[in-house]
Structure 1
């Protein structure tokens, strides 16, 4: 089946531009829900806010699930400082030193949006002796708001409060050489992969072998995105970023098949099947162990769901920082998911 590169990159760019830190994902989910319905699929939302897209299969028994998450890392206002800057707390696990100097948006509970910059509390080499050496963490980082504010009271008058979400600018760019550079490819690139599969199925009238639930989750980065899944799912395939570095085999050009992560081994038969498909389809792939990693499938398995689980994803370099992948990895991932659900 021909890979629709234009659609895949277009949907990836669109969702990467929608701010959706964990707990503040409704704009992204609303967009994805409308896109799934435009493609002709039945959708529903869970109480938690996960998007469920149902695709009927040739067989009536033995449903499958395929999942990716649209929630991202972010920050939240911890408190307002006396000089009008914002103290922050992390949402998920961003590498804080990579955020120094990045632009951001502050979302108030009243629906207002303000821009700002994430900086260390020693932001100038001309003033602070420790400007280059200060440890960057959530206690030494703050938000400089792009408004005339000189006090806590000035900030409060804007409507900014403790608990407001702070979204980090993604700086998304797609190069002529096929690289996709952006924050939060983990896991919006995988969401684009699933929608590429859905688009291909709709365009080419492909019916999966079994009923398949495409699940877009919204709390993966904080550990409970996949805790509930439809009861008739017997096996769940997670699509999340593939790890790169140290002794790992995966590159930015591969679809990674994870045999084990920090939660333990994934299902042996499912993993074997994915490897067999990758070999048969001559995909660029790698099999790896992720030592410091968990997924929605990990959560589903630990939440007493009676399922088998496996995990794949495009190779992503510099995860939780300024991430990068390549269209070759995306294409191999799309083809692997599509062949998996057809069998």
Structure 2
């Protein structure tokens, strides 16, 4: 497809702003699901939800197999009340894997049975006028912080009266900033920026009436930050799954805040050779900036789908994020680049027709370039005396 893809940056930004305004730590994603499902329906897609709220939206193509899946996640990092403390504050545990270093100083909301309370997450020794240098030397960790509730809470009894209890969800304020130079700084860009990318790609496809050779399923999961992600979101028609998530722009990584970052492997191993190769080549064909990267301490919705037993090809498209799982920063250039690639991928011709069947014979099976078998055998033969 050589039709220029017009991703609307204003639409993308507006979707991201709206998503960031909806608290959705893992386990508390209903409103984000409702918001996203309504937008998908407005865009004209057939939308279905799983029992717990993962979204599966189908956009029809010329054939139903081998369907393509594109996935991002609605859930974010957060915290949960671990204990009600005698000093009227709350002990917390993290939802997802993130450092308490980035929790210190955060403003947050506590969702209790009696309503929503506001508060701040503070180190145990928060007053420099009292603790002097100990403020700087105290340890970092979830056992060394507490949440101060912005309500009358002098002791544990007061907390109980407020209706706050163990297990209540705590949502961390995103504090977003959208700068005129294209940079966006916020918590929870992982992966609300991925959701916004998918919506922007869909909006462009609907507006430009882009046709696809096969059905595409637009999947939005609700448990990626705790590892279960796309484990229950796929249907048998899906043969290839492309995850959209953050890439880490940090020392030793090739990810970038500009262009597409194509992940070649994460901690679960290499992504599909043929699907990754196709995505890389599509970038070249359509003039999309791309760089490859490998992540050691990272997994995505793709991993959870494969671990759940789905025999699908997987790939990961990333937008570069600085300070992932902290005060994150991205650039609009990367978001638009990934969205363009998603559209080109969805519209591209099927290369592996055999993928339409879950199990079939050797005919049509893929090839990878290796030395001919007889050449390998000769190379392994002992030298003649």
User: TM-score band, normalised by the shorter chain?
Assistant: over 0.9
Partner of 2:359: none
User: CA shift at 1:48, angstroms?
Assistant: 2.9
Which of residues 143, 148, 151 is equivalent to 1:144?
148
Partner of 1:123: 126
Partner of 1:258: 263
State yes or no: 1:217 paired with 2:230: no
- In 1, the alpha carbon distance for the partners of 2:173 and 2:313 equals 37
Partner of 1:244: 249
Q: Which stretch shows the higher mean deviation, 221-230 or 198-207?
A: 198-207
Which of residues 314, 317, 323 is equivalent to 1:318?
323
Which of residues 273, 295, 318 is equivalent to 1:268?
273
Partner of 2:90: 86
- In 2, the alpha carbon distance for the partners of 1:156 and 1:231 equals 48
TM-score for the superposition, normalised by structure 2: 0.87
- In 1, the alpha carbon distance for the partners of 2:89 and 2:18 equals 31
Partner of 1:64: 68
- In 2, the alpha carbon distance for the partners of 1:296 and 1:81 equals 36
Partner of 2:157: 153
Partner of 1:176: 180
Task: Compute the RMSD of aligned alpha carbons.
Answer: 1.0
Which of residues 52, 56, 78 is equivalent to 1:52?
56
Contact conserved, 1:242 with 1:255, CA < 8 A, in 2? no
List structure 1 runs of 4+ shifted beyond 3 angstroms.
none
- In 2, the alpha carbon distance for the partners of 1:207 and 1:143 equals 51
- In 2, the alpha carbon distance for the partners of 1:77 and 1:314 equals 32
Contact conserved, 1:217 with 1:225, CA < 8 A, in 2? yes
Shift in alpha-carbon separation, 1:109–1:148, aligned structure 2, 3 A: closer
Contact conserved, 1:62 with 1:234, CA < 8 A, in 2? yes
Q: How many residues align?
A: 342
Which of residues 283, 286, 290 is equivalent to 2:288?
283
User: CA shift at 1:161, angstroms?
Assistant: 0.6
State yes or no: 1:33 paired with 2:37: yes
User: CA shift at 1:58, angstroms?
Assistant: 1.4
List runs of 5+ in structure 1 lacking aligned partners.
none
Contact conserved, 2:7 with 2:201, CA < 8 A, in 1? no
- In 2, the alpha carbon distance for the partners of 1:287 and 1:209 equals 27
- In 2, the alpha carbon distance for the partners of 1:98 and 1:60 equals 45
State yes or no: 1:296 paired with 2:301: yes
TM-score for the superposition, normalised by structure 1: 0.98
Superposed, 1:16-31 pairs within 5 Å as: 16-31=20-35
User: CA shift at 1:204, angstroms?
Assistant: 1.5
- In 1, the alpha carbon distance for the partners of 2:55 and 2:65 equals 22
User: CA shift at 1:309, angstroms?
Assistant: 0.6
Q: 3-state DSSP class of the match of 1:320?
A: coil
User: CA shift at 1:39, angstroms?
Assistant: 1.2
Contact conserved, 1:250 with 1:285, CA < 8 A, in 2? no
